[in-house]
Structure 1
Amino acid sequence: MKSTKSLFARPLAFFLVVLLFAQQNWATCGGGGGGGVGGMGGGGMSMDQTYPVPWKLIKPEDPPLKEGLAVYWFPSSFEETQKSSLRFSHTLSNYANQCVTMAVADARSTIGQKLANGEKLPVAVLATPDGNLVGKAQNNNGMLKVDQVEKLVETEMKKRKETVEQQLKAAKEKAKSGDNQNAISSYREVVTQKCMFPDKAKDAVKELKKLGVTDVADVPDGINMDPKVMAQVDSAMKKGLQAENDSRYLEAERFYAQAHRIDPVDPTPLRYLGELYRHHIGDWDKARTTFNQILSMNADPISRAVALHGLGKITIHEGDFKKGLHLMEDSVKEYPLALAYRNLAVYWNSEGDLAKADFYTNKALEIEPHDSFNLIFAAAFKAGNGHGDEALKIAKENESLLPASYNLAAIYAQLGQKEKAVALLKRHFFEYERYKSVRAKEMMEARVDIVFASLRNDKAFMALTDGADGRLPIPMNQHPANGGGR
């Protein structure tokens, strides 16, 4: 096992690979860029996990936390983080929707020295936003288990909820005795806890309105933490994920929708539904509605990032390139997804800014360095940048990968092998894709994608893409397409 020093001596970018371990094993991606399976397609982790914990690396330049609580995970090594049960947890994922930040930090950092100084790693620490210790979950023989961290958070949340309930009770007693001014003050204090305890804040708002207070907004419902309800959601989500991995998309939609009905406030079923509509079924009206619904909720960082990326993709296809770009940039600020980095690379490659395209391609590779689809995506850029032999080698090694057909075609097109490129595009459109609405969008994207510029006068290519939806005019100044990043 590597020492703590060797763990954090590595470049930050490589540590991000560990943080984004919540990927799926089968990349359901048009052209190798990812998409579907809740926006996490394209990696190498478990196929049956739908609740990755949104761990984020805490950096010195990050703004301070303002509310809630923070779980700081101080790991002992790369190996520990790659194998840790802390990677997936429905419970911790739900708490991330309630202002509980999930953070990974260097034990030698400022916050590490304050909270984990002298601790045997790994250790998880629960703290207030200003960095005051609340509690710790310590390892047993080098193993830190997710149920320890769940219990740590649940215990503190239960304690805080009891305090809020006492505040509500005291406020009601004040109102009952006629002390409305102090009652209102106490109720307002409860409302400030709306992110962590929305049900109690709703009660406080209701009582404030009874007292004539009109300047308080309604509080949305909170996520359901009942273990029985969570188990029902888990069951439906896993059935949906299995159906999606098996390309049974309408069945997947049915199970994801079932999970959403069980707990309408949980953003994860919506995240999977939104990506299913956007990427596989091609119903972008439903995708847009679903993504906007996520952004209107107290959603976890992964769900917000996937929603912002999805809206960015849709917006670019509709012709508002700069707005779409900004949405995808906002996505990676919210949470760094390889999917969003790939599509940022597509944007800048099509704009002719090869330096930015290379930068974002490498960011995606840092997150998923061994993923075949990621490597093919990068090879498509290499093919157009003087590294044709290397790109061709990668293409030949991975030619059997059906979901990679689009980017494989891009490699061959840029190397002058037009017939091979058209054949692979045909495979992509008519063997991989299942829905006409998706084909229409991707045929349009192929027509404007700079990687297929050499095919625009090719009769076979134009005939193959005859079903393009016409939403993206072929410009003189090349605008970005969406196809390669998916």
Structure 2
Amino acid sequence: MKPLWLRSLSLVVMAFLLLPTASATCGGGGGGGMGGMAPGGSGGGMQQQVYYVPWKMAGPTDTSAATALVLYWFPSSQNELQNSSLRVSRPLSVYAAQCVAMEVADPSSPFRAKFAAEDTLPVAVLATSDGGIVGKLENKKGRLNVEDVEKLLGAEMKKREDALDNQLRAAKETAKSDKDKAIPLYRGVAEQKCMFPKKAKEAAKELKKLGVEVGEIPDAPVSDPKKSALIERTMEAGLKAELSEHYLEAIHLYQKAQEMDPADPTPLRYLGEAYRHYTGEWDKARKVFDSILAMQSDPMSRAVALHGLGKMTIHGGDFAKGLSLLERSVETYPLALAYRNLAVYWNSEADQAKADGYIQKALALDPHDAYNLVFAAAFMAGNGKSDEALKIARQNEALLPASYNLAAIYAQSGNRDKALALLKRHFFEYERFQAVRSEEMMEARVDAVFLSLRQDPDFVSLTNGADSMLDPSRIMTHPPAH
């Protein structure tokens, strides 16, 4: 019989790999910010970091990723999943935007039998998309070190880059006597623009001299260790400022990091979420999210951008387009925030089965996250389970970012005064910028959970700054996931 951790790996891997540990100030049960990866705290015991590696789960029926290289991680235990250094790495995060897939292999997946059947776990395997093993990293005293994994992947990237250098030299030599024969050699290098944009640009320059135009090639991300370390420190300072609620300082630092490496999508991800969630500068947020989707970016960054655009699109009244963006987000990379907003959407469409399904997916990503629990409790209160919902609300009443959903629980449970007090706390203590406050007030006015308060003079007065973007005739049936 398999050990319990192996049988439950497909569930716990989501909680400990896909989500970073967060503090209680980041806005989990709804929320946002922190680059879109903001739960209320999965209890992983790691200090808050920026460059979480976008590991994805490789399940029993999955096939190899359609990328040039795939890095497989075969963990040994739940404890390793929770605490491994492989969870955080700027080099691995950057490689994930360069056609290198990062996958954690389920013990029942075919990849274990193919790549690590006889190995003592944990093991990391670097493979090609067609299943060829490029390299394997055994554990040292039961652990894998991220520095060793970075070296494994870095060595293969260097080997491939050297091969392209040789091909460029051969093409230049060939062009001296036969330009037509040189063109396919240059094209071969230019086609590697995803993994090696710098070499592809060199090839494109030579092709242009030969009368051949090549499409746009992205810039190469910063890989120099000293420059990379400076970018990390700047991002960490930005996150520290964000967690301390110094949002304008955080934005400044994220902008500074982005200027250091325009090809790195992570600073843009944090910047876009700060504009969307904290300052309400949605025009700036849209521009940032659009730029992430237009550039070569990792799955996590693309998912956050799609979610942010979807959320803003729904608030603007285009529900079908907003839904499509949210669905694309979770298809790209699983985010609890996107699952919550999908639950809100389908609940508003009176499809309880779909709504509950997305709530469960959000909870599966982090079942102990207080914000996830409060969000789910607001649904409970609306479905006749007020006692259970109130128990959760009382246990988490001190969570400032959960104030809106806490208010929803009390409103649906008949406690007018408590609901109004928590809404006031949400609007005027948690929200710091009027642009966001007005959006939240409008959502409260059309939210069916506050239907009992809609004609209440105190509620009307409390929400008098609403931005009037949503159609009051379209009543939402659950608080927004923010």
- Shorter-chain TM-score tier: over 0.9
| 8 Å Cα contact 1:71/1:127 also seen in 2 | yes
SS of equivalent to 1:98: coil
Q: Distance in 2 between matches of 1:11 and 1:94?
A: 26
Is 1:255–2:279 an aligned residue pair? no
Residue number in structure 2 paired with 1:269? 267
Which amino acid is 1:33 matched to?
A: G
| 8 Å Cα contact 2:58/2:109 also seen in 1 | no
| 8 Å Cα contact 1:365/1:374 also seen in 2 | yes
Which amino acid is 1:202 matched to?
A: K
Once the two structures are superposed, what CA deviation does each residue of 1:25-63 show, in whole Å capped at 9, x if it has no partner?
33522x821300100112425453100000001135545
Residue number in structure 1 paired with 2:380? 382
Residue number in structure 2 paired with 1:86? 86
Matched ranges for 1:220-235 at <5 A: 220-235=218-233
The 3 A distance-change label for structure 1 pair 66 and 400 is closer
Residue number in structure 2 paired with 1:350? 348
Residue number in structure 2 paired with 1:40? 37
Residue number in structure 2 paired with 1:152? 152
Residue number in structure 1 paired with 2:209? 210
Residue number in structure 2 paired with 1:466? 464
Q: Distance in 1 between matches of 2:259 and 2:70?
A: 29
Which amino acid is 1:170 matched to?
A: A
Q: Select between 397-406 and 58-67 the one with higher mean Cα deviation.
A: 58-67
Q: Distance in 1 between matches of 2:40 and 2:438?
A: 27
Matched ranges for 1:332-351 at <5 A: 332-351=330-349
Q: Distance in 2 between matches of 1:341 and 1:27?
A: 21
* Cα displacement (A) at 1:397: 1.3
Q: TM-score, normalised by structure 2?
A: 0.96
Which amino acid is 1:42 matched to?
A: P
Once the two structures are superposed, what CA deviation does each residue of 1:383-428 show, in whole Å capped at 9, x if it has no partner?
1112110100111111111111100000001111112111110010
| 8 Å Cα contact 2:390/2:409 also seen in 1 | yes
Matched ranges for 1:115-134 at <5 A: 115-134=115-134
Which amino acid is 2:36 matched to?
A: G
The 3 A distance-change label for structure 1 pair 422 and 385 is same
Q: Distance in 2 between matches of 1:427 and 1:284?
A: 23
SS of equivalent to 1:97: coil
Residue number in structure 2 paired with 1:325? 323
Residue number in structure 2 paired with 1:393? 391
| 8 Å Cα contact 1:350/1:478 also seen in 2 | yes
Once the two structures are superposed, what CA deviation does each residue of 1:340-378 show, in whole Å capped at 9, x if it has no partner?
111111111222222211111111111111111111111
Q: Distance in 1 between matches of 2:33 and 2:186?
A: 43
| 8 Å Cα contact 1:26/1:41 also seen in 2 | no
Which amino acid is 1:484 matched to?
A: P
Once the two structures are superposed, what CA deviation does each residue of 1:157-192 show, in whole Å capped at 9, x if it has no partner?
11110001111111011112x211111010011111
Is 1:457–2:477 an aligned residue pair? no
* Cα displacement (A) at 1:213: 0.9
* Cα displacement (A) at 1:66: 2.8
Q: Distance in 1 between matches of 2:411 and 2:67?
A: 52
* Cα displacement (A) at 1:4: 6.1
| 8 Å Cα contact 1:27/1:34 also seen in 2 | no
Matched ranges for 1:7-26 at <5 A: 7-10=5-8, 12-26=10-24
The 3 A distance-change label for structure 1 pair 414 and 285 is same
Which amino acid is 1:180 matched to?
A: K
* Cα displacement (A) at 1:109: 2.2
Q: Aligned residues, how many? A: 479
Q: Distance in 2 between matches of 1:21 and 1:122?
A: 21
| 8 Å Cα contact 2:62/2:109 also seen in 1 | no
* Cα displacement (A) at 1:438: 0.6
Matched ranges for 1:278-297 at <5 A: 278-297=276-295
The 3 A distance-change label for structure 1 pair 358 and 399 is same
| 8 Å Cα contact 1:4/1:76 also seen in 2 | no
The 3 A distance-change label for structure 1 pair 97 and 131 is same
| 8 Å Cα contact 1:51/1:268 also seen in 2 | yes
Is 1:96–2:96 an aligned residue pair? yes
Q: Distance in 2 between matches of 1:434 and 1:343?
A: 22
SS of equivalent to 2:186: helix
* Cα displacement (A) at 1:21: 3.4
SS of equivalent to 2:303: helix
The alignment yields a C-alpha RMSD, in angstroms, of 1.6
* Cα displacement (A) at 1:18: 3.0
| 8 Å Cα contact 2:442/2:468 also seen in 1 | yes
Which amino acid is 2:188 matched to?
A: E
* Cα displacement (A) at 1:23: 3.9
| 8 Å Cα contact 2:31/2:337 also seen in 1 | yes
Matched ranges for 1:60-209 at <5 A: 60-62=60-62, 64-176=64-176, 178-209=177-208
* Cα displacement (A) at 1:64: 4.0
List alignment gaps of at least 5 residues for structure 1.
none
The 3 A distance-change label for structure 1 pair 16 and 124 is same
SS of equivalent to 2:97: helix
2:410 to 387, 397, 412: 412
Which amino acid is 1:451 matched to?
A: V
Q: TM-score, normalised by structure 1?
A: 0.95
Q: Distance in 1 between matches of 2:453 and 2:375?
A: 19
* Cα displacement (A) at 1:6: 3.1
Aligned-pair identity in percent equals 58
Residue number in structure 2 paired with 1:427? 425
| 8 Å Cα contact 1:35/1:41 also seen in 2 | yes
Residue number in structure 2 paired with 1:445? 443
